[in-house]
Chain A
Amino acid sequence: ETGVTQTPRHLVMGMTNKKSLKCEQHLGHNAMYWYKQSAKKPLELMFVYNFKEQTENNSVPSRFSPECPNSSHLFLHLHTLQPEDSALYLCASSQEGQGGTEAFFGQGTRLTVV
């Protein structure tokens, strides 16, 4: 149990579908993150939320839309994705303001776009 739970674990969607990824943390952390993990490539930071406010958007296409309704939940809304968006999407949380603190990761959602 990592304290960060992601659902679903696996998702297959067509390019015209709309779906959402969900992340939940029960660690009392104030920061949450979405990362994209593609094979043989560095982890890509997509979005950062601090105290429910989005503080980073690393040039992510608008077909990815994050939502953070409270400090424990984070969503990634997906629509009209492309096959190259197939990857493992990881959610993480941490307690910001404490340098060097640990980021806790969920198990990820394996997304396949067909």
Chain B
Amino acid sequence: GEDVEQSLFLSVREGDSSVINCTYTDSSSTYLYWYKQEPGAGLQLLTYIFSNMDMKQDQRLTVLLNKKDKHLSLRIADTQTGDSAIYFCAELGDSNYQLIWGAGTKLIIKP
């Protein structure tokens, strides 16, 4: 079946860029999402990209999509302590219209 994979942890220094990676298997994905979950909170949509795009930028966030390799990344420029959270990658398949989720990457910020 469809699968979405992410590393469980990423540690970066405050002020550096964070790059969170995600791979997926469904070649019919229409939309790919990044959600953020802060401690004690529900998931919040951070950004999304349509499958016919290869890049989307929104302030400090840059999403890159390599559809050939089925690879999605989220770059956070100038990482701040407030960016500490778990980041979930999800893809919306064309077949069943359900979101398929990764396990989440915990972003740890070092001072």
Contact = CB atoms under 8 A, between A and B. Distances in A.
Q: Is the interface of B mostly helix, strand, loop or mixed?
A: strand
Q: What size tier do the contact residues of chain B reach? A: 20 to 34
B64 to A, nearest CB: 18
Nearest to B49: A100
Interface string B43-83: 11100101000000000000000000000000000000000
A74 interface: no
Interface stretch (A37-45, A64-72, A79-87): A37-45
B4 A40 contact: no
Contacts of A21: none
Interface of B: 4, 8, 30-31, 35, 40-45, 48, 50, 88, 90, 92, 97-104
Interface of A: 2, 4, 6, 40-43, 45, 48, 56, 90, 92, 99-100, 102-108
